[in-house]
Structure 1
């Protein structure tokens, strides 16, 4: 009953098999391996973007930080949600790599076009003394488990284009969002107005690799330089390429995301039937819910692993509602979900 994070799940067997296959013989280093050529062509086809520049890094933080550094200058500011991963969970890495600051757009887990417009208008009006306007970063799936609709994405990108600002999409759970929306990768990115996307794999069954895709190829060389200077260019790059190639083969990336989302839907249905209160509407593979301390205690004693959200099990009031986060990955069995719900 492991619902702590999709980061914690196992690597898909097909990915491990691909790594074993890639381990034979010799390959050119630093991304010159033949597998990377295949990955590049596959991603360009999937995103309907034949001219896109495609790169691989090992972590989501590297993908986001290097992409934003490429889109921004040190005197600019990056606009994002107050609960964006680049703000809450990356230890100021985007600021470190870019030199830019983050401006938190007021609101909930999703940015609204109105709030974004207001935040943009509040900057670049103090001449040399204030931060200049920089890129917009959108987290999809959001850190609270909701998903921006295509209309919402287009509306935010339209605001960005009004002020001639680039758009970055943090897609650590890109596949989960795509399955939820039942749309194409192109519709959720460049057709909506996104300039660069971090296309995640680590949370969806890979050992550790994320793709960075620039739809504006003019940024490619700068990204390559930043990746090398930032110590994120792998020498034995073929082991990144092998993971991504296996991920894309026969739509494993979509199959894994569908399983994760279906697992979360099964869990959410059971939570609802048990009377749990939802803090946010679950739309992908992450659930925020509240139920009494007594039930949390029973679950933890039985071996369930998940994060309480801002609370602890300590306390005498067993009827007090405590919030928690529950995340499903592709590998969780329905037996684990059903046992969790039975205990609840």
Structure 2
């Protein structure tokens, strides 16, 4: 019963098979393999962007940090939500790879509002040479609390950024989950809304370890290539990244895996709704659930030794009925029987 993270799930069998099949013989290195040519063509097709520059890196942190470094200067600030992954979970990698660009946190929740963003941007670049200059806006979709920006909200944020002449980056670690939930196209959720670059996630959705960075403005391509190499994220045996991504895109496996993960989370959420004393901190919208239930229920789950998830607060508190928050993440591989077992223990 593993709900701690979609990073913890297995690699999809189709991806493992593709790696084994592609392991025969020799292939050009450093990203000029034929498989990468096919990946680039397919991603351009998916995003309806025939001139887009497409690159692969092994981690989401590398994707976000290198993309933002390419979009910003060291003396600028990057605007993001107060709980953005680039702020809370990347050990200052964007600051490091950009050579010193800082982060300006917008709002207090997982989603930025257009008015909040406008106020934050307007508040910078007011001290001349003494203060940080305005830099890119980074939007997380799905957010770190499992919620979604609607297409209208994305357009609103991008319009604010463009009003100040700023580029927009999307952290799409769970890009496919958001796409499935919104029922839109990749183009509608990115460049058609005003996004300039996207970190297109795969690792959380069935890949061994690869993310794509896509620039809709190809003029950024050479700088990104240099930053990727200088930052030690250009794989020599690059075909093993390309093989994963090609398998992910073939037959829309990326869509099918995300839909299964979202459906699993919806099934879990429906079960949680039926349990008295359980409440949602955020309304579930994709494959990540934030809910609260009693300390006693948490203790029952942990006593089994088989329930793995993230929670806040102490299990040793005096009040067994005190509600403690839990984060439950579903991936494509978790079985309904495991979800049912988790719910049965929670019911007591």
Q: TM-score range by the shorter chain?
A: over 0.9
Secondary structure of the structure 1 residue equivalent to 2:258: helix
Alignment equivalent of 2:289, drawn from 284, 287, 290: 287
Choose the corresponding residue for 2:343, options 338, 341, 344: 341
**Following superposition, which runs of at least 4 residues in structure 1 exceed 4 angstroms of deviation?**
none
Partner of 2:299: 297
> What is residue 44 of structure 1 aligned with on the other side?
44
State the TM-score, normalized to the length of structure 2.
0.98
Query: Which of residues 308, 333, 337 in structure 1 aligns to 2:311?
Result: 308
Q: CA deviation at 1:316?
A: 2.5
Match of 1:325 in 2: 327
Q: C-alpha offsets along residues 28-60 of structure 1, whole Å, 9 cap, x if unaligned?
A: 000011100000000000000000000000000
CA distance in 2, matches of 1:301, 1:77: 46
Deviation at 1:211?
0.1
CA RMSD of aligned residues (A): 0.6
Tell me what 2:259 maps to: 258
Q: Which runs of 5+ in 1 are unaligned?
A: none
Deviations 1:89-113 (A, max 9, x none): 0000000001200000123110000
Residue range with higher mean Cα deviation, 270-279 or 124-133:
270-279
In structure 1, C-alpha distance between the alignment counterparts of 2:316 and 2:174, rounded to whole Å: 33
SS at the partner of 1:6?
Answer: coil
What is the CA deviation profile of residues 52-80 of structure 1, one whole-angstrom value per residue up to 9, with x for unaligned ones?
00000000000000000000000000000
Q: Is the 8 A contact 1:201 1:210 kept in 2?
A: yes
* Aligned pairs (5 A) from 1:86-97: 86-97=86-97
**1:273 is the counterpart of 2:274:** yes
Are the counterparts in 2 of residues 107 and 115 from structure 1 also a CA contact under 8 Å?
A: no
Listed as ranges, the gaps of 5+ residues in structure 2 are none
1:218 lines up with 2:219 in the alignment: yes
Structure 2 counterpart of 1:113: 114
Mean Cα displacement is larger for which, 67-76 or 102-111?
A: 102-111
Residue 13 of structure 2 is aligned to residue 7 of structure 1: no
1:315-341, CA deviations, whole angstroms, 9 ceiling, x for partnerless residues? Answer: 221111110100000000000001111
Q: Paired residue for 1:72?
A: 72
Q: Which aligned pairs between 1:122-133 and structure 2 lie closer than 5 A?
A: 122-133=123-134
Q: Secondary structure at the match of 2:327?
A: strand
1:16-55 superposed matches below 5 A = 16-55=16-55
